Structures are given as C-alpha cells and as structure tokens.
Amino acid sequence: MHGRPRKAPKPEDEAASTAKAQKLRALQTQFFSFHHSKIYTKETVELSAKLLEINPESYTAWNYRKLAVEHYLSQPDCNPDTAKSVLDDELRVVESALRQNFKSYGAWHHRKWVLSKGHSSIDHELRLLDKFQKADFRNFHAWNYRRFVAELMNRSEKDELKYTEDMIYTNFSNYSAWHNRSVLLSALLEKKAEGFLSKENVLPEEYDFIHQAIFTDPDDQSGWFYHLWLLDQTVTTDHPLLVSTWPAHGSDVLLVEDRCQNSSSFSPFTTLLSDSGSFPIVLYFNQPVEGVSSSTVVMECRFNKNEDLLWEPLSVSNLQTAQVWVAHLKFPTSELDSSVKISVGYTKEIISTRGSLYSHPSTFSFKVHVQPVERDSSQVSVAENILWREENFKVYRAQSEESIPIASFDHLSIRNDHESTASNWQTEALAKEVECFRELLSLMDCKIGKLTLARLLMAYDAMSFPFANKLVHSEEVLELYNDLMKLDPTHHRYYKDEHSLVLLQKMTSSKESLLQHCFQYKDSVSSAIGKPICLRLNNLSLSRIRAFERLLWVQILDLSHNELESIEGLEAMQLLSRLSLGNNKLRSLTALEPLRKLKSLRVLDISYNQIGDHSIDTTRYLCSSPLSHSVGSELNNDESVINNVALINYWEAFYMFKDLNLNRLDIVGNTIADEKFKSVLVRIMPSLKRLDGELLD
C-alpha cells in the first residue's frame, strides 16, 4: 500500500518472524522431499498450499502445484467435472495467497496459468479484481491480470477504457490506470474501431482529460507520464520516412583520391577526400527500420551495379535494424562525370520496428565528378598532420553561389510533400499544448511544467520546421533548460543533455548559424578551395550530441573541450576522417564504440579524457564481453599476431581499435594510456604512424 511509513520492527515482532521462519523451514524441507520424489497425493498438495499461504513467493511450490495439476488432469479417470474442481482448488489457493500478499508475482502468474486451462469461470475474476483494485487502486499486478482477463472474456476495449476512466475519476493519481488507458487507446486506434478512427479525433479529447489532472495537481507525476505518451503519439509519424541522405539530392560531389593535389572550383562542402577508392551513400530515416537492401533501394548509375551494392545498418548492436544505413560505391574509373539516381522504397519491404511500412517512395539523385589521381609522394597528407590548435583554423567564408550542405538539405524536400497534410492537426494540437503550459507556468513555478513546455516547443518547431525553416523557440527552450538545471539539481545531467541537444539542433538548423562553426585548416599547403571544411563544435560544454542528419557531409569534426560522456549516434557520420574528442569526459574505451563503424577515420584525438579513471566501467554491460562473445574468439585467432602481451587484459582496446584504420591517435592525458598500453596499441594498429604526436617507426 502506498503512503505508509516504515516502522522499525519491535522485539516481539522479530521473535514472531523468527518463529514463522522456523515453521516455514520445516514445511519447506518436507515439501522439497515430496517435490523431488514427485509425490502428488492429496496430503502433499495440501502441504504446498500451507506453504504458499505463509509464503506466496515460493515459486517452487507454485511449480509443484502446476505439476500436480498436470498429474491429475492426465489421470485416466479425469473428467471435465473433476478437472474443474482441481482447478477451482488452485484458484482458492491463489486467492488466499494473494490475501497474504497481493503483489506476489508467483500467485498472479499461477492464476493466469490456471485460467488459461480453460475450465474455470471467468466471471468471478472481475469481481475478485474489483476487490483487489479497490484495496490498492494502482496495484499493477491486478491491472496486468485485468488485461489478461479482459482479453480472455473478450471484454471490449471500450468497456475497459471506461473502467480506466472510472478509476481515474476516483483518484487520478494512478499510473496503472493511465498506462492501461494508453494501451487500450493504442489498440483501438490500431483497429480503427468506431469512434477511434484517427488520432486526430481521439488525442485532443485525451489532452483535455489529462489537462484536468495536470492543472488540478501539477505535483502528481502519473498524469505527466500520460501526457508524455500523448505527446509521443502526436509527434511520431506512423510510417518511417527518409529525412536525409548523403550525397544530398541535386548535389555535385567531387571525389578526390587522397594524397593528391587539386585546384578544383568545387565547394569544399561536397569535396570528398578518400583513400579507399570508394564513397559511402548514407540513408538517414526518422526511426529505426529494417529491410534496406538492393531490392528495396535501387541505384542507377553507369559505374556500379545495383546488385553489388551492400546496404549495412549502422547500429552498434548487431541487429539488422538501424536508423541509418550505408552502402559503398566504388569511384568510377572510366567516366569522370556521371550521375547517380537512387530510389528508396522501390519494393515495400522497409518497415519500422513498430511494424509500419515505409510507404512514401522517394528518389534522389546527384552527380559525381572524379578528380584524376596525380600522385605526389613527397606531399604529406593533411589527414595525418592536422593539429587541433586554435590558430590553425580560420573561419570559412562561403562563396555566394556555393552550395552549402544545409541549403541542399532544405532542397531535398523529402518530407514536405507527404507530411504537409498530416501535420495540420498535429501542429494545432501542439500549439494548443504550448499555450496551455504557458498558462500553467504563469500560475505557478513548476519544474515538470517547464520541462514539458521545452519538449512541446521543440516538437512544435520540428513539426513546422520544413516550412518555417528555423527553430523559432530554441532560445526560449535553452533558457528553460538553464532554469531547470538551477531549479532541480538532482536531474542536472538530464537537463544538461537536453540543453546540449537543443543547442546542436539550433546551430545546425540554418545555413547562417552553421557557417559560424565552419573553419578551414590554415596550414594547408594546397589552395583552400577543394579542401574539406572543419566543423568546430568545441568549447560548447556539450554533454551529448545529436542532429547527425544535418551533418552527414562532415569530414573533419572538432568536438574538443566539451563534456561528452557518450558519442552515441556518431556512427552516422560516415565521411568523418578526422575527429577530435580531446578534453571531454569519456570514461571508457567502450564509449567509443560508434567509431568502429567509421571506416574513413584516420585521425583521432581522445586525449585528456577520463578513460581508465574508473576501475568499474558502468557502460560495459552495453558491450559484449570477451568471455561470452565473438570478441573472445577473435582474440584467440589473432593470438599469434600479438604474442607476449597478455592481451586478455586489453581486450577492450583490441575490440575498439582492431578494425580502425587510424594513422594518428592522441590518447595522452588518460589514466589508461601508460607505456604498456601504448605499445599494445601500436601492435593492434599497424597503420598507425603517429601516437601522441610522436612519429612511429
């Protein structure tokens, strides 16, 4: 029961519980001996009932009873009547166990099991539930069981929805009731039941409903959860959409094989330096999808065959689901200029994790120009040499007619055509919510109100973004998060993360703001034109990063002097060849996992982080362990390569760097980076030419 203070046990209570434990132990010993010898007589089953009455959590006893029931039911003289009476006995035992502890998992589960045998009357179940839900109206076990019973008796979702309403009217501080409401509404909407044809009709009423709770008692959190669910229902589109690609639609891409001089007039934004003779095509969806392949995505060009194109999900887990997919095209060798056309959703097999079909086929095309290779061995590549020093960069001034990736992204207009009709009611709903929460905040200072307003404003901006073309409210949202960090220090880190993400979205939202962060490497020997741009997002106290869909073009990225603990999502930036993560708060090598997907990465700076500071890596559970997983077997196979080193101690380093083709790594300033570790790194990465600035042999 909620709201009851804990009391320290009195001596007599303790004595009583000792006596109880003794009795229980005796019972248990007896019970186990019966269980092990598979004795299912009336007496032994009765004993298990006694045990369960004292301790409903004794899962073994429940299982024993299940076996006993199966035993009875399989007897030759078993008829429907005896079966029913056996099962009714079970229901009685469960009921008395629940009276002892109405939150016993084992008991509720056993009841489900008995009922699914199909011999018992279900009508009694709702009455029983009413009793339990009255005793504790948010007992989630009872609610869970209620869903089971409702389904079993084919009770209509509308009736159940009405029930949640009644419970909410009794006391709206009820997570379980609100949750059940969201479950039922989802089901009704999916079925398109009468009166629940579209979200457009249902959600506004739900918003009205939840407002009553939120305004009546803004301190009650259960309502906020439901509001969050509604917001999610409002902003998420059912169908996956393609939001961004590289190369962008209509762009001219200059492909330059690395180590070559060039004096092209192409924009540095679309000049790709590559040393692998291939370039990536990146598809960025609005949600994780599966089924991207050469049959669902068709590429037409003269220098590669569609069937040769291998689409890979960019996901740190090994699932075949990802928000970003990549394929690599070989540089054309015969033709210097050629065009590529890509149709996404050619056949209808791309589906979201929620099971919705990608149903808006879109096509984008771009032109590629290849710079003829002029080898000059004396020239040292910029890629190896970049020094992340302030004085080495100068602000990039774009040529007036130059195509900036942001601009071309706007032209992409992948989503406009099919989103405009749908988003009317959504924008309206969000605008209404924004107004509503401004009113709430005018009445009182309220943390969750501020947070919700911030979320609403961002959702509103995102919704109207393709048309308004800027984040109108980002300043206000940043201010709200700043406020929240002060008001609610307990959740400082969460607000900080949100603040970072909004800041990034704001910086990448327009050409003007993005250009302020575009720099050119001064030291470049060759002419500035044609040399890639460095995006510098340093010194912004970012704790998280996002907005990758607008940064797919970036080849040089400076994220140094921030507060990053994670670089989740960075794997989307497939063109990255030089990256600085120096002076951040990365705490482990496994935090660098997204880098494993960056095949073009040559220069990496992770100096002055906290790698190795913490003996226990709290993120490790996200990463496969050397003992249980493929990494371990790889270790064994490669043992001959790296003998003499107890590699098992460095499996993380091995796992992280083995597949990276780095030329230069800076790792100084991390606890982990002692001499021994560095020597391991050198062995793991034969391609490495410089480690912490020092030229290797």
Least spacing, CB of residue 481 vs another protein, in Å: 24
Interface with another protein by CB under 8 A: which range of 19-27, 169-177, 260-268, 628-636? 169-177
Kindly state the number of chain residues that form the binding site for another protein, as judged by CB under 8 A: 16
What six digits make up the tokens of 425? 């009611």
Which of 26, 153, 197, 444 binds another protein (CB under 8 A)? It is 444
What six digits make up the tokens of 670? 């991390």
Closest residue by Cα to residue 146 from 115, 190, 186? 115
What's the rounded Cα separation, in Å, for the pair 279 and 650? 32
Interface with another protein by CB under 8 A: which range of 29-37, 166-174, 282-290, 546-554? 166-174
Question: Quick one: DSSP state of residue 373?
Answer: P
Task: State the DSSP H helix or E strand holding residue 408, giving kind and residue range, or none if neither.
Answer: helix 405-412
Handedness of CA 274, 275, 277, 279 (dihedral sign): negative
Cβ partners under 8 Å of residue 431, min gap 6: 460
Question: Quick one: DSSP state of residue 587?
Answer: -
Which of 211, 328, 415, 550 binds another protein (CB under 8 A)? It is 211
Cis peptide before 247 (omega within 30 of 0): yes
Based on the shown chain and the rule CB under 8 A, indicate whether residue 135 belongs to the binding site for another protein.
Answer: no
Which is closer to another protein, CB of 97 or CB of 213?
A: 213
Q: Are 416 and 466 in contact (CB under 8 A)?
A: yes
Least spacing, CB of residue 285 vs another protein, in Å: 38
Based on the shown chain and the rule CB under 8 A, indicate whether residue 170 belongs to the binding site for another protein.
Answer: yes
Which is closer to another protein, CB of 32 or CB of 169?
A: 169
Cβ partners under 8 Å of residue 603, min gap 6: 383, 384, 386, 577, 578, 579, 662, 663, 664, 665
Based on the shown chain and the rule CB under 8 A, indicate whether residue 439 belongs to the binding site for another protein.
Answer: yes
Which of 440, 554, 647, 691 binds another protein (CB under 8 A)? It is 440
Based on the shown chain and the rule CB under 8 A, indicate whether residue 169 belongs to the binding site for another protein.
Answer: yes
Least spacing, CB of residue 211 vs another protein, in Å: 6
Interface with another protein by CB under 8 A: which range of 164-172, 257-265, 450-458, 569-577? 164-172
- Using CB under 8 A as the criterion, what x/- string covers residues 409-428 for binding another protein? --------------------
Cis peptide before 218 (omega within 30 of 0): no
Least spacing, CB of residue 440 vs another protein, in Å: 7
Least spacing, CB of residue 269 vs another protein, in Å: 49
Give start and end residues of each alpha helix (H) in 74-122.
80-100, 105-116
Please state whether beta strands 252-257 and 362-371 pair in parallel, antiparallel, or not at all (unpaired): parallel
Q: Are 590 and 614 in contact (CB under 8 A)?
A: no
Which is closer to another protein, CB of 232 or CB of 435?
A: 435
Q: Are 396 and 535 in contact (CB under 8 A)?
A: no
Based on the shown chain and the rule CB under 8 A, indicate whether residue 221 belongs to the binding site for another protein.
Answer: no
Based on the shown chain and the rule CB under 8 A, indicate whether residue 295 belongs to the binding site for another protein.
Answer: no
Which of 87, 115, 299, 436 binds another protein (CB under 8 A)? It is 436
Which of 51, 83, 128, 213 binds another protein (CB under 8 A)? It is 213
Least spacing, CB of residue 443 vs another protein, in Å: 5
Least spacing, CB of residue 172 vs another protein, in Å: 5
Which of 212, 339, 630, 687 binds another protein (CB under 8 A)? It is 212
What six digits make up the tokens of 188? 């009704």
Which is closer to another protein, CB of 213 or CB of 326?
A: 213
Which of 113, 140, 175, 215 binds another protein (CB under 8 A)? It is 215
Q: Based on the number of CB atoms within 10 Å of its own CB, is 191 exposed (0-12), middle (13-18) or buried (19 or more)?
A: exposed
Q: Write out the binding residues for another protein, residues 53-82 only, by CB under 8 A.
A: none
Cβ partners under 8 Å of residue 5, min gap 6: none
Q: In the chain, what is the greatest distance between 2 CA atoms, to the nearest angstrom?
A: 95
Which residues contribute to the site for another protein (CB under 8 A)?
Answer: 169-172, 211-213, 215-218, 436, 439-440, 443-444
